Amino acid sequence: MKVILVGPSNRFHGGISSYLEVTAMGFANAGHEVGLILLDRLLPGFLYPGKGRLNDSPSLGYEHENINTLHVMNYYDLAIPRKARMSIAEFNPDIAIIHWWTFAVFPMLSKAFRTLSMTGCPVSIEMHEVIDQNDSRIPLVSSASKVLGKRILNKATNVIVHSDSDRGLVLQHYGIKKEKMRVIPLANNSKFGDRLELEDARGRLGISHSKVLLFFGLIRKYKGVTGLIKAFEMIEEKDVLLMVVGEIWDERREIETLIEKSPKKRDILLIDRFVDDAEIPIIYSSANTLAMPYTRASQSAVSGLAMDFGIPIVSFSVGGLEEGLGKYENATLVEPGDIMSFSKAIDKSLSMQMCQPGGNAIEDVVVVWADLVNGDG
C-alpha cells in the first residue's frame, strides 16, 4: 500500500508533528510506502503565541527506506509547484491522510487537498482537534472555520476522529454526512523506548521528593492547571512534588500567582518550555501519576505516553478521554470540575504500582487504516 501523509514537519514542536512521525514509521515498518507532504513554516512568527517554535532537528522528514518526502510547504507558498505535483502523481498513492488540528493552517491543508484530489486517490482528513480553542475565540475565524471546514470535510472520502465523542461533535458542528465518519483510536507514541529506573530518572532531574505528580504538555486554559494546583494543595500524601512541564500559552498570571501564594510552593516545579524528545522518557519515568484535569478533550498523546510507560493517570471524565482511558487499568476518571474528588483520586493513584503498557499500538492502528483502504473498514 502507498500512503501519503500531510502534516507538520519534524522541526515543529508539538504533539501533531510527533504523531505524524509515529504514524509514518508505523506504516513504513509494516512494509507500506510512505510519501510525506510536510508543513514547515506554519504561520508568521508574530502570530505564534509561544516562544520555542522550532526544534533543532537537522532534517524535516524521517530516516527509513520506505519513507520519501515529496514536498515541503510554507504558509507563504501560493500553490504547490508543478514539479511537486508531478512527484505526488507519480507516487500514485492508495490513500492520502491529512492531519487537521487548527484552522490557522487551513490554507496549506486546502492546497494539499486539491492537489491530492487530482490524483484520484481517496483523501481522508484525520481530525485531532474538532474545534480549536484559539479559533473559537474570534467570531470571524470561528465562522470561517465552520463554513470552509464543512466544505472540505464533505469533499473528503472519510473524516477520521479518535473517539465517538468527537464523531458526534463533528456531525453537530460541521453537519457532514454520517457515512463519511470513521473512528480510529489514537496510537501510543512508542518511539521513546522503555521506562527508566525511577532513581536514575529522578537523579537526572535533581528530584529528592518521595513521589512525583506530573502534568505534561502545552498549557492552555482548558487543560485545567489552575484547578490542578488547588487539588494538589488538598492532597494528604506527604513529600510529593507537583511537576508542571510545558510552555504556558494561557493564564500565565493566574498560574504564577497561584504557585507563588501556594502553601506548597516549595513542592511545585514549573518547567515553562517545550522539552526535547530526549527529555520525555526521563520526565515520565520520574512520575508516580499523570494528572489530566482537562475541561474538554478529544484524545491526548500525553495520556498515550503515560500508558506506554505504565504510569497511573487521574483525569476528568471528559470528551474522548473517557473512552481512551476506560480500558486502562491504572486510570481513574473523576466527575468533571470536582476538585475535591480529583484530589482524593490523586492520593489513591500515587500509591498505585506501575502496570503493563496499555493503549493502542501503532501496529494495530495501521491495520485499521489498511482495512479502510481495502474496503473492510
| 283 falls within a domain | yes
Model confidence over 311-356: pLDDT tens digits? 999 999 998 898 889 888 899 999 999 999 999 999 999 999 888 7
Contact predicate 320/299, CB 8 Å: yes
| pLDDT mean over 214-225 | 95
Per-residue pLDDT tens digits for 37-57: 998 877 766 566 655 555 555
Residue 375 has pLDDT above 90, yes or no: no
Residue 359 pLDDT more than 80?
Answer: no
Question: Cα(163)–Cα(186) distance, rounded to whole angstroms?
Answer: 9
> In total, how many domains does the chain have?
2
Please check whether residue 223 lies inside any domain of the structure: yes
Quick one: 140 and 229 in the same domain? no
Give the structural domain span for 9. 2-187+361-373
Percentage of the chain exceeding pLDDT 70: 93
Residue 355 lies inside a defined structural domain of this protein: no
pLDDT of residue 319: 86
* 3-class DSSP assignment, residue 224: coil
pLDDT recorded at residue 245: 97
Residues 53, 183, single domain; the answer is: yes
Task: Kindly state whether residues 333 and 221 are assigned to the same domain.
Answer: yes
The C-alpha atoms of residue 277 and residue 299 are separated, in whole angstroms, by 20
Strand order, beta sheet including 95-100 = 67-74, 33-41, 2-8, 95-100, 123-127, 158-161, 181-183
pLDDT in tens, 139-154: 777 788 889 999 999 9
Any domain includes 354: no
pTM: 0.88
- In the structure grid, which three cell numbers stand for residue 96, read together? 492520502
Is the distance from CB of 341 to CB of 335 less than 8 angstroms? Answer: yes
Residue range 106-115, pLDDT digits in tens: 889 999 999 9
* 274 SS3 class: coil
Checking if the pLDDT of 133 tops 80, the result is no
- Res 366: pLDDT: 92
Give the C-alpha separation, 193 to 180, whole Å. 36
Whether 132 shows a pLDDT value over 80: the answer reads: no
- Phi, psi torsion values for 362, nearest 5 degrees: -60, -30
Domain check: are 174 and 194 in the same one?
A: no
Q: Is the dihedral of CA 277, 347, 247, 23 positive or negative?
A: positive
Residues 160 and 14 in one domain: yes
User: Per residue in 245-255, pLDDT tens?
Assistant: 999 989 999 99
pLDDT category at 357 given cuts 50, 70, 90 is: confident
Looking at per-residue confidence, does 301 or 242 come out higher?
242
Residue with cell 490557522: 104
Task: Answer yes or no: do 138 and 202 share one domain.
Answer: no
The answer to whether 213 and 287 are in contact (CB under 8 A) is yes
Average pLDDT of the residues of the chain: 89
Question: Does the pLDDT at position 62 exceed 80?
Answer: no
Across 139-143, 240-244, 364-368, the highest mean pLDDT is recorded for: 240-244
Q: Is residue 356 part of a domain?
A: no
Mean pLDDT score, 207-212: 97
> Domain for residue 368, yes or no?
yes
180 domain-assigned: yes
On whether residue 150 sits in a domain, the answer given is yes
The residue among 83, 132, 77, 143 whose CA lies nearest residue 110 is 77
Residues 129 and 207 in one domain: no
pLDDT digits (tens, 9 = 90+) for 170-184: 999 898 999 999 999
**pLDDT of 362 strictly over 70:** yes
pLDDT band at 91 (very low <50, low <70, confident <90, very high): very high
Are residue 131 and residue 204 in the same domain, yes or no? no
- The answer on pLDDT for 134 being more than 70 is no
Q: Output the domain CATH number for residue 243.
A: 3.40.50.2000
| Residues 173 and 24 both lie in one domain | yes
One domain for residues 24 and 38: yes
Both 6 and 155 in a single domain?
A: yes
The verdict on 202 and 177 lying in the same domain is no
